[in-house]
Copies of this chain bind each other. A is one copy, B any other.
């Protein structure tokens, strides 16, 4: 939950500046963007394949995921999204959405009209660039997921996803402690890693018994960050968090 009187786009600004710091007036321009707050249930769609995007949803609270389906109805989750992230940069300049974005949990989004966003991006080159950079970082994460699914075994894949999520939460200032909630069912975890739910369950148990993670409901605690990183083959360079305090240091 954000502080009640905190600006709904504060998190978006934070996210943009993770990759491209902005001057005070550019910051203000982002915060001045028009938007409409909307409460959304778990499972509700923020974007549907085939939609013509006319607005851009920013997550204020809650979590979302991007996915697409094969002709046979198999689902692949393509990315996870946390508060502060704009889920429509990927679609905004295209005619038609090529995938779905759905809420993982209940939450709140701020919807910014597309034209307002385009106007600011054009009038303020540094804001435009911040959007571009943020979009490119997302593409970098897509690539890492392809590597993860294509070339790592089940144990590493899941460990990698757990590392990435923790890292991104920390970067966004959303993870004060050494544990966090991973707001996904094992079925969703399976669809994110190209596995089956049954196998995900077994791998989670293995990671648990190996002492790499501790689980309580969907809360994950990572007792030894370096061991999990090793198991995952995780390297955070692809997140392009240049100006960040490294997670491992923050955790000590």
Interface positions of A (Cβ within 8 A of B): 66, 68-72, 74-76, 78, 90-91, 93-96, 98-99, 122, 125, 128-129, 132-133, 135-140, 142-147, 149-152, 156, 191, 193-194, 233, 235, 237-238, 240, 242
Contacts and interface: CB of A to CB of B under 8 A. Distances in A.
B93 A133 contact: yes
A140 B140 CA distance: 12
Closest 3 pairs between A and B when the two form their complex, measured CB to CB: A150-B194, A71-B233, A74-B151
| Chain A binding surface, main DSSP class | helix
A133 B95 CA distance: 10
Given A93-B129, A95-B240, A151 B76 contact: yes
A70 B240 contact: no
Contacts of A96: 237, 240
Given A135-B139, A138-B139, A149 B152 contact: no
A139 to B, nearest CB: 4
A151 B75 contact: yes
A229 B182 CA distance: 37
A15 B120 CA distance: 27
Given A142-B143, A145-B146, A237-B98, A136 B90 contact: yes
13 contacts: A66-B143, A69-B147, A70-B147, A72-B233, A76-B146, A76-B151, A94-B140, A98-B237, A98-B238, A128-B128, A149-B149, A149-B194, A151-B194
Contacts of A238: 98
A206 to B, nearest CB: 19
